[in-house]
Structure 1
Amino acid sequence: MPDSSNKKFNSSSEKSTMSFSHKYKFWLMLLTALIILQLPIISIPFKWLESYFHEISHGLTALLTGGSIVQIQLFPNGAGLCTTRGGSAFFISLMGYGGAILWGTLLFYLASSHQKIAQVCSILLVGLLASSILLWVRDLLTLFIVSVLLILVLAKIKYSSQKYLQKSLQVTGLLVLLNSLMSPLYLLDGQARGDGAALADITYIPEIIWVVIWFLAALLATYKLSKISLRSTR
């Protein structure tokens, strides 16, 4: 006779495993993102992506506050530069790191909403990268870096199932968020350069205060996403 008690045990064990993976899905993805960031070569495109979001946030803020984008530059070490003309100096400086936090949060949130939304999000990202190449990239190095990012996103869309694309975008969002969490700390080098120093000059609020604000904002965004992810698994 079939052993019904054994079947019940196996079924219970499977449910327990699924429950664990669903309950801690966000933290497992966050751990995956942390591991990826430690890998010497694989982490490079994600650092480029965070830098791109940082610089495009400067640029888009300039456009929204009445200015214009002159040029976007990205460098192999993950640094970048967005040259703008006009607009609000305060908001342009604020939204570099702030924008990267928003992009990472938005990527994860939209990808978590639905598989179709993840696909639309990827297509919009392709459009943004392609527009940047056409409108604001002026040098070969930046052209290469943005083209690599564009090819990687296109490859995700073409070769990934919708479910895999959704998970991939979620992890990408967390990678951008983690990079935006750590990047402001590099401003504490005593050289008084970068967005924090620019905001200090404008507001007379010390650079370290702005670094703390960006750091705490990234932490808060990570916490909020963990709560949203937990609710979606119930």
Structure 2
Amino acid sequence: MQEIRVAVRSGAGACAIADCRCWSDACADSLFCRDRTETRGRMLNTDPRTHAASLPKSAVLVPHSAAPWIGFAALLSLALFAIDTWWPQFGWIARPLVWLGTLFHELGHGIAAIVLGGELVQLAVYPDGSGVAMHRGAYSQFERALIAAAGPLGAPLAGLAFFLALGHRYAARLLLAALAAFLVLALLLWVRNLFALGFVLALVLGLVLVAWRGNDRVVLALTAFVAVEMSLSAFTRVDYLFSSGALTGAGSLPSDTQQIADTLGLPYWFWGGLLALLSVVTVAVGLWISGRKSSSG
């Protein structure tokens, strides 16, 4: 027997120039170090790579720490949050970040439904920051609860993936390109409302531009910013976790936590607290791993 369910969300290793302490093959493809190695090679009248080969292993470049990029992203995110909170007339500046969080939220519902044997019918994101993911399938009570929980956890899990990518030479660029490819698939298969089509298309173009043409600093800065923003997404809209209903562009619908309560029992605010705790743990793991990579680099 088939049933249709609706999941909703309510609206509301680059090298810095100063850090280039050697000219090794490991860093030769970095945009900044490539320029510096060529300059140094001309000054020494030697080929930069030949010069690098003559250096002792102890002189191999230490990858640039991700910590400054995370710190910068955190400050920028807090500034945008303050603008949206205290100067709502300028809230449009931060609005695209709300849409991005909603997109990952709804994709979380959809991916969970597909993994559990269902079908994602369509996905919508609305200008007010709300969204809807419609899916269908024959689910058990527990599976319905998992699909509902996957929405609030979608953005923090995406943030975790971006944190993991910060510590690797190529991973950040590859992740941006992979995300662009996945969003193209979403455009073709699931995104149906006009606003979401325009937003996701613009997002794809921006990701492709940065992944293909952006220098290392731009790639790391964007990766860190998305990691921080997605990690904070669950907390900037924490009121949604502790509400029984949501007013969306598709009408008034039960919240994700209320859907979990309807299937597993216990009040919706219990499940909201549990999802908030899981989001905190996810963010902490991402910060811990990126910090270890920075210190071990």
Which residue in the other structure is 2:266 paired with? 205
Extract unaligned runs of 5+ from structure 2. 1-63, 84-90, 247-253
Which residue of structure 1 lines up, in the alignment, with residue 167 of structure 2? 113
TM-score, structure 1 normalization: 0.82
CA contact under 8 A between 2:241 and 2:273: conserved in structure 1? no
Residue of structure 2 aligned with 1:229, choices 290, 294, 297: 290
Question: Which stretch of the first structure deviates more once superposed, 68-77 or 151-160?
Answer: 151-160
Aligned to 2:195: 141
1:36 aligns with 2:36: no
Q: Which of 113, 118, 126 is the matching residue for 2:180?
A: 126
Distance 1:56 1:123, change over 3 A: same
Identity %: 25
Name the counterpart of 2:37. Answer: none
What amino acid maps onto 1:44 in structure 2? R
Q: Contact conserved, 1:50 with 1:100, CA < 8 A, in 2?
A: yes
* Change in 2 beyond 3 A, CA 1:22/1:134: closer
Contact 2:180 2:208 in 1 (8 A): yes
Q: What displacement does 1:82 show?
A: 0.2
Report which of the two has the higher share of strand: 2
More helix by share: 1
- How far residue 23 of structure 1 moved from its aligned partner, in angstroms, is 9.5
Q: Partner residue of 2:218?
A: 164
Asked whether the equivalents of residues 167 and 294 of structure 2 are also in contact (C-alpha less than 8 Å), the reply is: no
- Using the TM superposition, give the Cα deviation of residue 64 of structure 1 relative to its aligned residue in structure 2, in angstroms: 0.6
Question: Which has the greater radius of gyration?
Answer: 2
Root mean square deviation of aligned Cα: 2.2
- Of the three residues 63, 73, 80, the one matched with 2:131 is 80
TM-score (norm 2): 0.66
List per-residue Cα deviations over 1:89-122 (Å, max 9, x = no partner): 1211110011221111111222x12231111101
| Contact 1:184 1:214 (8 Å CA) reproduced | no
The reply to whether residue 100 of structure 1 matches residue 155 of structure 2 is: yes
- Contact 2:164 2:286 (C-alpha < 8 Å) held by counterparts: yes
How many aligned residue pairs are there? Answer: 213
